[in-house]
Structure 1
């Protein structure tokens, strides 16, 4: 049976207190497997209908704004701090809601997908917070989307248990589990296994953001409050304060809909796009009743820089991905501005994720990972960040030690101001690094992107490749650099011109290097890579064509 809903509220107690109630028919077109009806209930689908009726049109408008802004930057108009919102930046008196219960101490947060095994490992990890990721660390197969919701549903109710195919039993055994902060997909992504009927009577693919957020919130918000915490969210890929305002209105409506106090929801916004770096104050302001802090999403931020400046000439070309570190000019400027802006407004500043991960079978690799991560977290704690991300449980003690050394018994350092930081617009786009592109770097980009996309097509969103943790954001950097190097007529340090033909040769080489197995997706991955890295057009996200071509199922 295909679940549907007309968009009416489940009962009078959950109706909004004010305003007319529009309707938007929701239809689930994806396969209904075991227990899916527990998530795709009529009441939950009715809530999704309300969200789409009220906010889908505004989502479309915000995506159109992104296209206009990218066009302007591509045509020579560098982003600036907005003159029309100067009064918000100049007003020193306003503050944000800040930490909700369970978010007062965020010194180490573990990130990861929401399958049962990874959920249990995260909850047993000893981190303060778990970023339960339905976004870049999750391949958005229909199975992952709904079964990730089931994992979270069970975990919040203390009933999650998993037995691996090998017979190993996983259970939550930690006395103190991390506070869950769920990350839905960004505004740009659709959920093609759910449709809604718009006001013109058209059946359109649902918003991935509203589906992920809506199902999690509807089923778990009240239970989370009973557990002493609350419904908390990481908001990805935001590009403007208008997008933040859209989320704030979604939150306000949702709180009213199920009858919880205004401001119960807390969000942490990832500053991982170039336009958002120019609107940090404004993003905090628009979400001020619901926001706990900002996060420096380093990998997507690098990708955003390349995407926006890919056609602006040789001076905006970056060297090997491995050379674009947190200490290069534009990355240093953006993180320092983030800490200063957050603390000025009473918000947390959360650091990003170093890609280095340990290998329990290789002590040398593990020692190098510990050294690299320790240095990264020491820099963040010293710069004033209140917490940081790690992608592996073994890195939690390493990161915690660096933050403990700065914080001591304090839960955070929000009271630490950075008056000496004065960041100009020109510093946020200063990409001069002065290093060459190496032949090894080009090969690495092609190899990592193809191997990651292959895993993504098989349903894996976070993948260890060459002792680094790769997700959709790092794959985006790899393919966008290749596109830019070709279109800006770049050459490697040994004089090899980076052309389409050269990259095609590397694709063939990579396909010969990988270990092929029955049922692998390397040919499909190579086809996607060719489309997003070698085409004349530049797809805004590689995951969009990959999703539409390969991940959409029929009931």
Structure 2
């Protein structure tokens, strides 16, 4: 691995720890690195303070305190105010496709027929140096309209006319970027992803009335949203762009954030466009936040759908909150993918997607997510048939009484041996693939990413550390069963033709450490990052 040092005048030394090429050097220019250093000096300290606040809140939850609506922000929730007008390019978001920033994916997603492509540096992207920097190359070329890709079989991929609107999801505040260090300290991954993208693309996108636009992940408080507002305002000023031209959609994918939807909208009110039901991370956050609360242990993940009470309350509150403030309420991800060799199974999977999207549009969502291009027409058909106009902002608000108890409602269900075993397999296979550089992996006809794998991993910890839990056949759930299941899957997969097979043993070791630990780790990707 080559190491290139760049001296940034008056701001220290940035080290690039990764194999450089001329194409990557065109992204990691002196001017771009100088901009990253300014972002770091301006905002990293505040980021670290807010991450410390997260840990303090979690200590309170672990001690028995429940998340709740904030008393000090009651006026924000009760007063009448609305967010800034939504740009024309984002007025119709009925179907959005998401995926990593690999070159072929970027082209296929922009060409998919979806209204929006969310280019993801986070949950569907393993943050190797190559993936992070090459992803920036791919997005720059897409913005320029010159992106192309040739498959090994000779097939060529190029952009169609009028591709989807591009929205970029940088990584969350909690993640470091250790491949880029300033005086030996890792830069914030969020600021790296954001900074490199706007440095190379913001001007071109603004001139075409296309933003730049962002999806903001993993927020837990209005203060974290306010920090993003400050970052974007700083970047607009540095790049001589109009104030407020950078727009954001926030994923409500943590349990603490569900109690601050109004406050998050208010903190970003001059630039926010909407909130999104990040359902898979939200389930993971429910487990993590309530990890010491035996009354809120969840059943196996296949039983935790959007119709269970706590998720139903969350999605309905998001719709009502957004529409009251003039913001979009975006629906969640359909993780199903086409099943090519089994028409009956494929039809059943598509029916699940249709049912999910029908619930969303009837509830009042303004759009939804899919993970595969083949699902775009399925979701589009549902929203075209049931949504009058380009969104549902003018739909009368439902009278809802959703409070703390509804958002924290325990979830009924069971844990089967099959569900337990599936969690072990998914957590193991995904971790191995992630270590091997893949951030999204098809497993049993579902597209698994970091969020869905986190559910599997966190549930295993939860079930094994709350003693006395049983399977449906009344056999106890024990660490010995976990050990046997993990060993069995590792033995079977070690030489199998699956993504990450070469890293199976390393993934098993890491999964054992995390599952046996006395405390549920905040994120799988943090300890795994050191092994990339």
Shift of 1:360: 2.6
Q: Secondary structure at the match of 2:262?
A: helix
Q: Deviations over 1:12-48 (max 9, x none)?
A: xxxxxxxxxxx45433222213411111011111110
Distance 1:82 1:163 in 2: 53
Q: What's the counterpart of residue 13 of structure 1?
A: none
Tell me by how many angstroms 1:366 deviates. 1.9
Q: Show the counterpart of 2:121.
A: 134
1:468-496: CA deviations, max 9, x gaps?
11000011000100001011111211122
Deviation at 1:515, TM superposition (A): 5.9
SS of the counterpart of 1:335?
helix
Which residue is 2:193 aligned to? 212
Q: CA deviation at 1:533?
A: 1.9
Provide the rounded CA distance (Å) in 1 between the counterparts of 2:343 and 2:6. Answer: 53
Residue 6 (structure 1) aligned to one of 5, 8, 11 = 8
* CA distance in structure 2 between the aligned counterparts of 1:273 and 1:251, rounded to whole angstroms: 22
The 5-angstrom pairing of residues 463-478 of structure 1 reads: 463-478=441-456
Name the residue aligned to 1:19.
Answer: none
Residue in 2 aligned with 1:196?
A: 182
The residue aligned with 1:406 is 386
Tell me how far apart the structure 1 counterparts of residues 263 and 520 of structure 2 sit (CA, whole Å). 29
Aligned-partner SS, 2:132: helix
Deviation at 1:499, TM superposition (A): 1.7
Unaligned runs of 5+ in 2: none
1:537 CA drift (Å): 2.8
SS of equivalent to 1:152: helix
Residues 107 and 24 of structure 1, relative CA distance in 2, 3 Å threshold: farther
User: What is the alpha-carbon distance in structure 1 between the residues aligned to residue 101 and residue 313 of structure 2?
Assistant: 33
* 1:502-528 Cα shifts (integer Å, max 9, x gaps): 100110111233261596111111112
Structure-2 residue corresponding to 1:145: 132
Q: Check if 1:77 corresponds to 2:65.
A: yes
Provide the aligned length of Structure 1 versus Structure 2: 526
Answering whether residue 474 of structure 2 is matched by residue 530 of structure 1, we say: no
Tell me if structure 1 keeps the 8 A contact 2:291–2:520. no
Kindly state the Cα deviation for residue 227 of structure 1 after the two structures are TM-superposed: 2.7
Three-state SS of the structure 1 residue aligned to 2:4 is coil
Deviation of residue 7 (structure 1)? 6.0
1:495 corresponding residue in structure 2: 474
TM-score by length of 2: 0.96
Who is 1:306 aligned against?
287
Structure 1 segment 454-469 matched on structure 2, within 5 A: 454-469=432-447
Does the residue aligned with 2:139 lie in a helix, a strand or coil? helix
Aligned mates of 2:153, 2:437 — CA distance in 1: 19
Cα gap change, 1:6 to 1:417, in 2 (>3 Å): farther
Q: Structure 1 residues 2, 80: closer, same or farther in 2, change over 3 A?
A: same
Written as runs of structure 1 = structure 2, the 5 A alignment for 1:6-155 is 6=8, 23=11, 25-92=13-80, 94-155=81-142
- Return the alpha-carbon distance in structure 1 between the equivalents of residues 405 and 324 of structure 2: 22
3-state DSSP of counterpart to 1:351: strand
Give me the whole-angstrom Cα distance separating, in 2, the residues matched to 1:386 and 1:488.
39
- Is the CA contact 1:111–1:133 (under 8 Å) kept in the aligned structure 2? yes
1:178 maps to 2:159: no
Q: CA deviation at 1:192?
A: 0.3
Q: Which 5+ residue runs of structure 1 have no aligned equivalent?
A: 9-22, 198-202
Distance apart, 1:76 and its partner CA: 0.9
Q: Distance in 2 between matches of 1:3 and 1:223?
A: 29
Q: 2:423 corresponds to which residue?
A: 445
